[in-house]
Amino acid sequence: MDTINHTSYQFSKNQSFYRGKVREVYNVNNELLVMIASDRLSAFDVILPRQIPYKGQILNQIAANMMNATKDLVPNWIVATPDPNVTIGHLCEPFKVEMVIRGYLAGHANRVYKSGERTLCGVQLPEGMKENDVFENPIITPTTKATIGFHDQDISKDEILAKGIVSEEDYKILEQYTRKLFKKGTKIANNRGLLLVDTKYEFGKTKDGKIVLIDEIHTPDSSRYFYKDGYEERQAAGEPQQQLSKEFVRQWLIANDFQGLEGQQIPVISDEKVNEISERYQTLYEKITGKKLLKNTNENIYKRIEQNVLEFLKTYA
């Protein structure tokens, strides 16, 4: 079947177009954003050369599911999801920070900790921790986007406020929303036999000044999950945790001498590896949602998306 890489639609009243690492975003009439989840795969802020079947559909549908489950806690940007790969929402001015929240010492936080650092984004880390240990309380470790390129940059709350990236009043709301969402996400994960290890949230402001949740939440691209069953036993034995996240992609790349650093070559991604990654994404979808993935096997995904978006825009107008 086809996978989605780059799109080039000509929607009526389209004002601008933005291509992110994974998503294609169309601004319709300075009112709506049409966000298309591609099947691109990124790691270490680098877009890898192979697309992953069903990945875009999985990300989009998990995010829609989680947005719906949390809309009573935190308002979000969604208007409709007219296609498995598409979310349409209100145009917002995004905050230039991502609110990363961590419940466990894993991934990037662990790599920083192993280097000997005991401060991450202005947050003091306790001594004596080992990889995948739980924090007494979840910590917020924001990142901001670099001016050029896709590399996220660690930044502290104090730096964000001092540089005027976000006002103190707005940042308080971002913190409150982040903790509410993480608490809810943790509960949802626990009910599915998972531990929500860490995740990130993005927020924006609507034209009337309302702060809303945007982009994706609790997907394998934005989050890390461990299996709850056996977590304590594996931790006590010093064994790796069984996890559902994109970390397995990062670890495979690291094992093949790639971490997105200058001069490094992306390893060859075989058909077998593509299928393995796709199956891992499908497993997470079914585990976190409790639903069987209904694979959309339409051979012309590009045409299907265009038709569904155009049909929605007609009814919205």
Q: Could you report the per-residue pLDDT of 250-307, keeping only the tens digit for each?
A: 889 999 999 999 999 999 999 999 999 999 889 889 998 999 998 877 678 999 999 9
* Residues of the domain holding 207: 94-245
Q: What is the signed CA dihedral for 38, 20, 50, 83, rounded to 10 degrees?
A: 0
Note whether residue 307 is domain-resident: no
Whether the predicted pLDDT of 148 surpasses 50: no
| CA 74 to chain CA centroid, nearest Å | 17
Q: Report d(CA 79, CA 64) in Å as an integer.
A: 10
Q: Give the CATH number for residue 170.
A: 3.30.470.20
Note whether residue 169 is domain-resident: yes
Q: Report d(CA 181, CA 199) in Å as an integer.
A: 10
Whether the predicted pLDDT of 151 surpasses 90: no
**pLDDT for the residue 286:** 92
Compute the mean pLDDT over every residue in the chain, rounded to the nearest whole number. Answer: 93
Note whether residue 257 is domain-resident: no
Note whether residue 292 is domain-resident: no
**pLDDT for the residue 254:** 93
pTM for the predicted model, two decimal places: 0.88
Whether the predicted pLDDT of 133 surpasses 70: yes
Note whether residue 224 is domain-resident: yes
Whether the predicted pLDDT of 238 surpasses 80: yes
| CA 139 to chain CA centroid, nearest Å | 18
Q: Report d(CA 19, CA 6) in Å as an integer.
A: 8
Whether the predicted pLDDT of 71 surpasses 90: yes
Whether the predicted pLDDT of 37 surpasses 90: yes
Note whether residue 314 is domain-resident: no
- Quick one: pLDDT band at residue 317, thresholds 50, 70, 90? low
Q: How many domains does the chain have?
A: 1
β-pair partners for 24: 19, 36
With pLDDT > 70 as the criterion, what percentage of the chain qualifies? 97
Number of H helices, E strands in the chain: 8, 18
Q: In the chain, what is the greatest distance between 2 CA atoms, to the nearest angstrom? A: 59
Note whether residue 108 is domain-resident: yes
**pLDDT for the residue 31:** 94
